[in-house]
Amino acid sequence: MAKELKKRSQAAREDTWAIEDLYASPELFLEDVRKLEELVKKLKGFTEEYLIESGVHLLEYFQELEKATIILDRGLCYSQRSVDVDTGNDQYQLLSGKMMGVYHKFVTVTAPVDAWIASMDEEKIQKFYQETPKLTAYKVTIDDLRRLKDHTLPSEMEELLAASQEMGAAMEKSYSFLTDADFEHPMVKDETGEWVKVSAGRFIPLLESRDRNVRKDAFFAYYDRYEQYKNTFASLYEGKVKSNIFYAKARKYNSSMEAAVDASNVPKEVYRNLIEAVNENMHYMHEYMSLRKKLMGLEELHMYDVYVPMVAKETGKITYEQAQEEIIQALQVLGDDYVSVLKEGFANRWIDKYENEGKRSGAYSAGCYSSHPYVLMNYQYNLDSEFTLAHEMGHALHSYYSAKHNNVFDSEYKIFVAEVASTCNEALLMDYLLKHTKDKKKKAYLINHFLHQFRSTLYRQTMFAEFELLTHEMAEVGRPLTAESLKKLYYDLNVQYYGKDVVIDEEIAIEWARIPHFYYNFYVYQYATSFAASMALSKKILEQGQPAVERYLQFLKGGCSKAPIELLKDAGVDMAAKEPVCEALKMFGGLLEEMEELFCQI
């Protein structure tokens, strides 16, 4: 008998997030949608002549914009969170569609204003600040708009670009519905001989099975299903890439990558520095694969063998409650206030815990300025899920502190720093578990997990980043992104990254099709840079204590009050240089040596 997923209606209330904290009913949500529509009409009434006349008028605009943004933020959170836990629910899709319609009107109305502000004379802006001191509350937002002056178009064109974004988002939306709602997942037998559905949430746990036949069957069955839709996936991805290129060209950037990183105020050199630093240290990755092959006692190491722990599982089944308690203990080093907020999140249903039919795969933290964060999980009772929970709560508390200490605009920290707090939590959890583990087998299992984090974050996410860069460069010179060209490129990158000790199975060539982050416009490189930054910051926290903790908490409270590179410098790490990445990879090399020595003792 197949192990079927529960329907959303069967989920226990205590295992679901408190969506009612946003709106007690869809009717109240729709009331706010109507309020937002009225505010959008009001914003549309601001003309360029009126805004540039005085600081008082510009302040008036930002005060109305702030009201609208807070409602928009809350409404988007409610509608998107509702869809994500039940993607096949027509009512939720209608609510989401209505909200997105208002959102695109909002973007269309505000886009020309951004252009007007960007093109204003600097002397006039400074005069406005002097005459209207309250306007300085929005200085960070105004300065960021003016930073992009050279890439801001005349207001009519900005309005047109904004109106086109709904079409530009169609590929991502179609991809999500295809993979989360319409995709027919294959069935394989698990270790007990029972048929199980290879869902997105179950795929990696199946690849971690000690039974090689189980992971092999899951690998081939899952990727065979993606292969059946390869042309559809290629078409969707090519559409997304061309959309990115279109917007980059429209804004006079030299490349789509440059446009993406500049939106976060990150120098383009950071992206290429990461790829170069990882490629310069690729020998550690190859040594890891060689050690994996040796410790697993395999004549051939295949792609379906790279997730299963190199040593026998020693942690047993990790309940959600156990994971929660260990995370609380591990993060005590960040102080009483941090832990108090963490406990509040655990106790008050910030988290949607378990997988159900139609629920979005993976995990994330999201929320809005006027409410607590929301964390989506598909908890699987294993060490990976425990670390994922720590990771997502890192995001949640970053958002919590950022919202608490900034206005709605400045609370939106840049994507570049978004993964630092999450991976720092993971590093602190690993340190805690290793320090509280005397059993050598369990310690070896934990180090195995840590090694896997380096492999899957610093190396794998950089490989993804390289794939994104190369595919966009291909499209930018007119080369078509077909299923076969994408598969060849992705296969060759796997050969480059995994080395001679791994049999690169042909099926891995379609893996790009199952990675939703490729629709996020050069997002994935930040997992790798953030991981390197968090290794450095967690080391300082553990070694220096309170001074480092204070710097780190100030970083969490910083929002986007400074450029992300500067926020990290203040916290103690310079990500404009290659050194943090290289140092993290040296740490990876040291862990490899420790793992080999430890294995000889058990």
Tokens (6 digits) for 8: 């959303």
The answer to whether domain 8-168 has CATH 1.20.140.70 is: yes
Phi, psi of 502 (to 5 degrees): -120, 135
The answer to whether 506 is a known catalytic residue is no
- β-strand 187-189 against 195-197: which pairing, if any? antiparallel
Q: pLDDT tens-digit profile of 3-16?
A: 678 889 899 999 99
Q: What is the pTM of this model?
A: 0.83
Contact between 406 and 379 (Cβ < 8 Å): no
Name the DSSP class of 152: P
**d(Cα 40, Cα 556) in Å, to the nearest integer?**
32
Place of tokens 């300082």: 540
User: Which sequence spans correspond to the domains of the chain?
Assistant: 8-168, 232-314+439-546+553-602
CA dihedral 207, 212, 213, 216 (to 10 degrees): 50
Query: 486 and 536 in contact (C-beta within 8 Å)?
Result: no
- Exactly one of 159, 355, 392, 468 is catalytic; which is it? 392
DSSP string, 409-451: TTTS--HHHHTHHHHHHHHHHHHHHHHT---HHHHHHHHHHHH
Name the residue among 601, 593, 602 with its Cα closest to residue 291: 593
Q: Which residue has the higher pLDDT, 193 or 467?
A: 467
With b for 16 or more beta-carbon neighbours within 10 A and e for fewer, the 6-42 pattern comes to eebeebeeebbbebeebbeeeeebeebbeebeebbee
Domains 8-168 and 232-314+439-546+553-602 are alike in CATH topology: no
How many CB atoms are closer than 10 A to CB 131?
A: 12
Question: Residue 2: is its pLDDT beyond 60?
Answer: no
Residue 430's nearest CA partner among 407, 413, 447, 410 is: 447
Q: Which helix (H) or strand (E) holds 195?
A: strand 195-197
Per-residue DSSP letter, 311: S
Question: Which of 23, 25, 19 is closest to 86 using CA atoms?
Answer: 19
Pairing of strands 502-503, 301-302: parallel
Burial 132-143 (b: 16+ CB within 10 A, else e): beebeebebbbe
For 424, list phi and psi in degrees, rounded to 5. -65, -40
pLDDT digits (tens, 9 = 90+) for 58-85: 999 999 999 999 999 999 999 999 999 9
Question: How many H-runs (helices) and E-runs (strands) does the chain carry?
Answer: 26, 7
Three-class SS of residue 261?
Answer: helix
Burial per residue of 560-570, b for 16 or more beta-carbon CB atoms within 10 angstroms, e otherwise: bbbbbbebbee
Work out the mean pLDDT of the chain and round it to a whole number: 93
What pLDDT, on a 0 to 100 scale, did the predictor assign at position 1? Answer: 33
| Residues 6+ away with beta carbon under 8 Å from 294 | none
pLDDT, position 180: 80
Extract the tokens encoding 120: 């204003």
Query: How many CB atoms sit inside 10 A of residue 479's CB?
Result: 11
3-class secondary structure, 16: coil
How far apart, in whole angstroms, are the C-alpha atoms of residue 327 and residue 321?
10
Distance CA 499, CA 501 (A): 6
Residues 336-387: tens digit of each pLDDT: 999 999 999 999 999 999 999 989 888 999 989 999 999 999 999 988 899 9
Which CATH code for domain 232-314+439-546+553-602?
A: 1.10.1370.20
Confidence of residue 244 (pLDDT cuts 50, 70, 90): very high
| 112-125 tens-digit pLDDT | 999 899 999 999 99
**How many other β-carbons are positioned within 10 Å of the β-carbon of residue 549?**
17
Region 120-148 average pLDDT? 94
CA distances from 504 to 275, 353, 465, 484, 492 (A): 21, 35, 19, 17, 9
Q: Which residues, in sequence order, are bridge partners of residue 365?
A: 375
Quick: pLDDT tens for 310-324: 887 666 799 999 999
Alpha helices in 120-255 (DSSP H): 122-131, 139-147, 155-168, 170-177, 200-207, 212-228, 230-250
Task: Reduce the DSSP state of residue 374 to 3 states and report it.
Answer: strand
